[in-house]
Structure 1
Amino acid sequence: MIRSLTPLAALLISDALVLLGHGLLLTLIPVSASQLGFSDFQIGLTGTGYFVGFVTGCLATPYVLKRVGHIRTFAVLASAYTAFILFFAWSQSFAGWMFLRFMIGAIIAGIYMIIESWLNERADKNNRGAILSFYAMMNLMMITIAQQLLNLGGVNPTLLFALAGIFLSLSIVPVSLTLALAPAPIHKVSIDFTKVWKHSHIGIIGSIFSGLITGSFWTLAPIYAKDSGLTTFQLANFMSAVVLGGALFQIPLGRFSDKFDRRLILIFIALAGAIISLLTFIASFENYYAGAVSTWLAFIWGAFSMTMYAICLAHANDNADSADFVDIGSAMLITYGLSSAISAPIASALMGMLGHQYLFVFMGTSFAIFCVILIARRKSHVLPVMAEHNGEFHSVAGLTTPEAYNLDPRAEELNEAVPASELEREWADVDADYHDNIDKKT
């Protein structure tokens, strides 16, 4: 495995630095918005801007990469991200923050797409699974560590925005200095919602409810923790515990879903998520909540909420050909992103009317509705999906783009279906167009 990762060292170091900066901002931005006096609903709308930007970035990045290549696109996006971070520290208007959150959503989608397409280009059938697993583990680990960086500044926005900017700026260095060849241009994102619905109704429905739950969490959980009286240290532990719970339980729950009907595992996850959400809601009214209780409940809640989407994705692909895997994953991801975009305003409106504790009522209700749908769907399909019909579960790297699905070994036939000569011809055409443009200018 080390031999497979060594040629990718520069790229993975840049990825780690990006995630440290971006992971810190996932919590810092909502907390800073609250300190500026934004209402919960306004903070929810800025979350909508972020997720709409993320979907836009997934769709637009392939066209940029085709023009200037991976290394220059990465450098431009990381540099632009750093500039927008500084604007956050200066701007105090809601409209400005809406625009900035949209832009960083689009930018981080582009950065992820560059990293994932580069990893896919360097992977082969012998190491694809190992690279995907390491990438998923590193992403979750860096986001967990990033939450602890809040303790360095005591949620001092100026200091922490500067720290995030430093990490994003440094991420440009390893990629820019690498001697490795950049990959060929990637293809545009293919979205076919009909295909996903045909193979698995639960795939689309699950991505909708996963987006409702995790989208509202990432946008509003820092506000919930702050209003619950958690100190900066406790808030950082709360956010880290959720990500860590998802990281540690994704593989065990995924392996269980390989051996049994995945719908049964999803029913268990949705039911457990609803129960833990209810317990968290009740406990948040008590004086003993801040501290160990909030951290442990967050860890258990993350174990179910952060694993649901990956198992829904695996279920959607069980009855599909490997050639359809990337299309299905892309459609589910876009559905997940759009669902995340509408979740935050709904949850924030509920918090504004009834209290911050009702964030977990919204997420628990989403779990419960999904559980009821799963039970109804399973009764209408009396023949259970047997273990021998299930594909092998593979972890999902948290926030990701459609390019990550090319890394999955289940997409191996699709990767092999595109001959190297065809890729070389396409790259040659792009290179020729580039030199033609240079000749015209000179």
Structure 2
Amino acid sequence: MIRSLIPISALLISDAFVLLGHGLLLTLLPISASLLGFSDFQVGLTGSSYFVGFVFGCLMTPFVLKRVGHIRTFAVLASAYTVIILLFVWSQSFVGWMLLRFMLGAMIAGIYMIIESWLNERADSSNRGAILSFYAMMNLAMITLAQQLLNLGEVDPLLLFSLAGIFLSLAIVPVSLTLALAPTPISKVTVDFAKVWRHSHIGIIGSVFTGFITGAFWALAPIYAKDSGFSTFQMANFMSAVVLGGAIFQIPLGRFSDKFDRRLILVFISLAGAIISLLTFVASFQGFYAGTVSTSLGFLWGAFGMTMYAICLAHANDNADSSDFVDIGSAMLITYGLSSAIGAPIASAFMGVLGHEWLFVFMGGSFAIFCVILIARRKSHSLPTVAEHNEEFQATAGMTTPEVFNLDPRADEITEEVPESELEREWADVDVDYHDIIDAQEEPEDSVDIEPDANKE
């Protein structure tokens, strides 16, 4: 495991710096927007702008990489990200923040895509799964740690924005100094929603509801915590607990879903998520909520809210060939990103009209509706309780790019198990029906009628 990580150590160090800076901004930006006087609905719209920018970055980054390569593109995107961070400190305009958050989403999508394509280039069939798991866990761990950085500045925008900018600037150094060869340019992202729908209706539907839930959380949970009277320390612990719950429970729930019909596991997750959301809503009105209770409920909520997408993705892959994993993952990721952009303003409308506590009513309602859909689908499309042919679950790193699906070791199974022979490659270019020739060669000799006078003619 360690030997596999040494050649990509510089890339992983840069990734850690990026995640510390970006993870800090995930919480800092909504709080800062609220302090500037933005309404909850406006904060939700800025969050939507980020998710739309992320999808845009996933689609456009391959064209930039083909032109200037990985190292230069990484340096440009990280530098631009740092500039955008500083512009947030100067800008007090809602329209300006919408534009900046869109650009931020596009920049971080490009940075993620470069890191993930580089990891994919350096991985092989023997260590691909280990690298993917380590990358997923490191991402979640760094974002969890980033939430604790809030305590350094007591939500002082100047200090915390500067700290995020420092981390993004430091991320340029290891990648720029690495002696490792940069990978070849990556192909453009192809999205085939119809293919995913054919393989798994639940996959697409789950991506939509997961986007509603997590998009609302990342855009508005810091506002919810601030309006609930949390101190900076309590807010940092609450946000960290949610991410930590998802990190700890993702693999156990995923492995459990390998042994049973994944839809049953998704029913359990969505039902539990709805119950925890309801409990959090009720507890929000209690005087003892902030502190241990909020952190505990946040941990439990993250265990279900932050793990649902990975199991929906695994369910979609169960009915697909290994060669389709990247296409399916890309389509589901784009669906997830666009749904996140929709979920944030809807949830903010709930908060603006009914109160900040209703954020968890929106997310709990999304869990509950998905649960009902799952039960209805399972009744009309029955599968055995024990799913012996489930693909092995692979952890995901949360909001990532389509390139990470190339790291999935299952995507190489067809190529490795059924190598194409030289004869097949030659015949693939011949425009004849060679199956008739094979059939003729295999026909028994005594069934061939040879005319005796044929040679005389």
Q: Is the 8 A contact 1:203 1:332 kept in 2?
A: yes
Counterpart amino acid of residue 275 in structure 1: I
Q: Is the 8 A contact 1:207 1:333 kept in 2?
A: yes
| Counterpart position of 2:139 | 139
| Counterpart position of 1:424 | none
Structure 2: how far apart are the matches of 1:337 and 1:20?
A: 21
1:119 to partner: Cα distance: 0.2
Q: How does 1:241-390 map to 2 (within 5 A)?
A: 241-384=241-384, 386-390=386-390
Q: Residues 64-86 of structure 1: CA distance to partner in whole angstroms, max 9, x if unpaired?
A: 00000000000000000000000
Counterpart amino acid of residue 300 in structure 1: L
| Counterpart position of 1:44 | 44
Structure 1: how far apart are the matches of 2:387 and 2:157?
A: 50
1:162 aligns to 2:190 (yes or no): no
Counterpart amino acid of residue 117 in structure 1: S
Structure 2: how far apart are the matches of 1:123 and 1:396?
A: 17
SS at match of 1:112: helix
Structure 2: how far apart are the matches of 1:383 and 1:39?
A: 47
Q: Residues 127-169 of structure 1: CA distance to partner in whole angstroms, max 9, x if unpaired?
A: 0000001000100000000000000000000100000000000
Structure 2: how far apart are the matches of 1:206 and 1:383?
A: 18
1:389 to partner: Cα distance: 1.3
Structure 2: how far apart are the matches of 1:128 and 1:248?
A: 21
1:387 to partner: Cα distance: 2.3
Q: Percent identity?
A: 81
| Counterpart position of 2:455 | none
Q: Is the 8 A contact 1:109 1:401 kept in 2?
A: yes
Q: Is the 8 A contact 1:406 1:415 kept in 2?
A: no
Q: Residues 180-210 of structure 1: CA distance to partner in whole angstroms, max 9, x if unpaired?
A: 0000000000100010000000000000000
| Counterpart position of 1:123 | 123
CA, structure 1 residues 254+222, in 2 after alignment: closer, same or farther (shift >3 Å)? same
Structure 1: how far apart are the matches of 2:383 and 2:288?
A: 47
Structure 1: how far apart are the matches of 2:65 and 2:163?
A: 28
Structure 1: how far apart are the matches of 2:224 and 2:267?
A: 27
1:394 aligns to 2:412 (yes or no): no
Unaligned runs of 5+ in 1: 420-442
1:418 to partner: Cα distance: 11
Structure 1: how far apart are the matches of 2:411 and 2:181?
A: 23
SS at match of 1:180: coil
Structure 2: how far apart are the matches of 1:6 and 1:335?
A: 35
Structure 2: how far apart are the matches of 1:253 and 1:244?
A: 14
1:369 to partner: Cα distance: 0.0
Counterpart amino acid of residue 116 in structure 2: E
1:319 to partner: Cα distance: 1.2
1:257 to partner: Cα distance: 0.1
| Counterpart position of 2:229 | 229
Structure 2: how far apart are the matches of 1:55 and 1:276?
A: 30
Structure 1: how far apart are the matches of 2:103 and 2:372?
A: 37
1:384 to partner: Cα distance: 2.8
| Counterpart position of 1:6 | 6
Structure 2: how far apart are the matches of 1:230 and 1:326?
A: 41
SS at match of 1:171: helix
* TM-score normalised by length of structure 2: 0.91
Structure 1: how far apart are the matches of 2:411 and 2:61?
A: 21
1:181 aligns to 2:174 (yes or no): no
Aligned residues: 419
| Counterpart position of 1:102 | 102
Structure 2: how far apart are the matches of 1:376 and 1:413?
A: 33
Structure 1: how far apart are the matches of 2:191 and 2:157?
A: 38
Structure 1: how far apart are the matches of 2:4 and 2:414?
A: 21
Structure 2: how far apart are the matches of 1:356 and 1:343?
A: 15
| Counterpart position of 1:404 | 404
| Counterpart position of 1:22 | 22
Q: Is the 8 A contact 2:261 2:383 kept in 1?
A: no
Structure 2: how far apart are the matches of 1:184 and 1:418?
A: 23
Q: Is the 8 A contact 1:144 1:243 kept in 2?
A: yes
Counterpart amino acid of residue 390 in structure 1: N
Structure 2: how far apart are the matches of 1:341 and 1:254?
A: 26
Q: Residues 106-141 of structure 1: CA distance to partner in whole angstroms, max 9, x if unpaired?
A: 000000000000000000000000000100010000
| Counterpart position of 1:435 | none
1:415 to partner: Cα distance: 7.3
Q: Is the 8 A contact 1:49 1:341 kept in 2?
A: yes
1:267 to partner: Cα distance: 0.1
The root-mean-square deviation of aligned C-alpha atoms, in Å, is 1.2
1:388 to partner: Cα distance: 1.0
| Counterpart position of 2:55 | 55
Structure 2: how far apart are the matches of 1:76 and 1:411?
A: 31
Structure 2: how far apart are the matches of 1:51 and 1:367?
A: 21
Deviating 4+ runs (over 6 angstroms) = 414-419
Q: Is the 8 A contact 1:318 1:390 kept in 2?
A: yes
Structure 1: how far apart are the matches of 2:366 and 2:275?
A: 12
SS at match of 1:403: helix
| Counterpart position of 1:35 | 35
Q: Residues 336-393 of structure 1: CA distance to partner in whole angstroms, max 9, x if unpaired?
A: 0000001111000110000000000000000000000000000001233632110100
Structure 1 or 2, whichever has the larger Rg, is 2
Q: Is the 8 A contact 2:317 2:325 kept in 1?
A: yes
Structure 2: how far apart are the matches of 1:234 and 1:169?
A: 29
Counterpart amino acid of residue 98 in structure 1: M
Counterpart amino acid of residue 94 in structure 2: F
